[in-house]
Amino acid sequence: MRVSVIASAAVAAFVGFGGTLALIIAAATALGATQAETASWVTAISLALAVSSGYLSWRYRIPIITAWSTPGLALIGASIGFTMQEAVGAFIVTAVAIIITGLIKPVAQFVERIPASIASGMLAGVLSSFVINAAKTLSLDPLLVLPLIALFLIIRLFNPAMAVISVLIGGVIFALLLGRADNLPAPELSTLTMIIPEFSLSAMIGLALPLYLVTMASQNLPGFAVLRAAGYEPPTAACLQVTGLVSLISAPFGAHTSNMAAISAAICTGHDAHPDPKQRWLTGPFYALCYLVFAIFGASLVAIFAVLPPALIMLIAGLGLIGPFINALALALNKQDERFAAIITFAVTASGITILGIGSAFWALIAGLIVAGMDHLSKNR
């Protein structure tokens, strides 16, 4: 045991939680969730990550780090017309689909065959609205926003992983000093709120299916790649089954999908965590402990966000997604012969259109696959 193990786990957990908590708030707001339901969401997803990371790391002696689906949150936040009850139904279906993927190998192979450019184009389209909204905050409250953007750009030069965290902490302090927020609420322990799911066809097609594909393509596959790059051979099927199971259990309490981590995993699998690769699995239990603490105080954290100005929430969410947006756009345009299909996918997703009650992410996927298929047939003539 080394101090570096605890430090790496704590940094990974703090960056993953604090850097994207604003996205849960934005997604919950888009679904019309109450503050109690939002707090339950944070509590349940934190417990799911604590259980899955702790168990998988201990069971396989590999630093298997799990996280919530950040692209999934962006997708939920950009969706229009769904209720919290419909979203919970979609979360349950997504969890079942992930479990099936872990049980039936051909299903996983089918998902892997979806062109990365198409999946990335869809993801980039989802993320674009958040990045653009972050820029719009300049006109909403320039006195609050401009110093925070400057802080983000400066911290990013020295420690990119802490840049968004710095904006979060600095933003809370600055908002209080400027009188943009009420006094911070008193600390309170978290509780779980059961939400009765609704299974509507539009939510299954417009939310569950895109959420499943985005989670698999943008979270699970890169997460496994990080572990392999660090010299480990992750138990793919077991990881999907466990993350799917904890997602299924936590979904009725408002939590969306749990999955493999990429950025957080990179922090816990490197030499800085422990010189001996065989001992780095110890970061998993400590990472789990951090999320257990987050779960206990989830209600207080949501209450703090509830008194912050909307412009600050939009700014934090947008800044936190710049990195994933850049990566998604780069992957979408990586292959020259697939760029046209990727841009079509991006444009349809970013448009936010709804047809037959089904959101733009699904139609973007269909449009991108059709265009890619036409291009493929044209080349083989």
The domain spans of the chain are: 3-327
Q: Which residue has the tokens 């569950």?
A: 208
- Mean pLDDT, to the nearest integer, of 281-309? 88
Q: Find the helix packing angle between 70-78 and 322-332, rounded to 10°.
A: 90
Least confident of 29-43, 95-109, 211-225: 211-225
Give me the percent of the chain exceeding a pLDDT of 70.
97
Does the pLDDT of residue 62 top 70, yes or no? Answer: yes
Contacts of 191 by beta carbon, 8 Å cutoff, 6+ apart: 36, 39, 40, 43, 299
CA 261 to chain centre: 9
Q: Is 67's pLDDT higher than 80? A: yes
Answer for the pair 324, 222: CB distance below 8 angstroms, yes or no. Answer: no
pTM of the model: 0.80
Q: What is the mean pLDDT of residues 150-154?
A: 93
Q: How far apart are CA 25 and CA 22, in angstroms?
A: 5
Residue 338 has pLDDT above 90, yes or no: no
User: Does residue 11 carry a pLDDT above 80?
Assistant: no
DSSP label of 253: G
Q: Which pLDDT score, from 0 to 100, does residue 181 have?
A: 76
CB distance 332 to 124 below 8 Å: yes
CA–CA dist 63, 268 (Å, integer): 7
| Residue 357 reports pLDDT greater than 70 | no
What is the β-pairing status of strands 66-68 and 258-260? antiparallel
Mean pLDDT of 178-184: 78
Q: What is the mean pLDDT of the chain?
A: 86
Residue 217, pLDDT above cutoff 80: no
Calculate the alpha carbon distances from 30 to 34, 80, 142, 244, 277 in Å.
11, 7, 24, 24, 42
Give backbone dihedrals phi and psi of 335, rounded to 5 degrees, phi first. Answer: -100, 120
- Average pLDDT over every residue of 217-236: 82
Residues 262-279: what's their mean pLDDT?
80
Is the pLDDT reported for residue 247 higher than 90? yes
User: Among 138-147, 231-240, 249-258, 259-268, where is mean pLDDT lowest?
Assistant: 259-268
HEC string of 62-125? CCCCEEECHHHHHHHHHCCCCCHHHHHHHHHHHHHHHHHHHHCHHHHHHHHCCCHHHHHHHHHH
| Residue with more model confidence, 188 or 193 | 193
Centroid of chain to Cα 66: 11
What pLDDT does residue 106 have?
A: 81
Q: How confident is the model at residue 38 (pLDDT cuts 50, 70, 90)?
A: very high
pLDDT at 1: 63
pLDDT at 268 over 80: yes
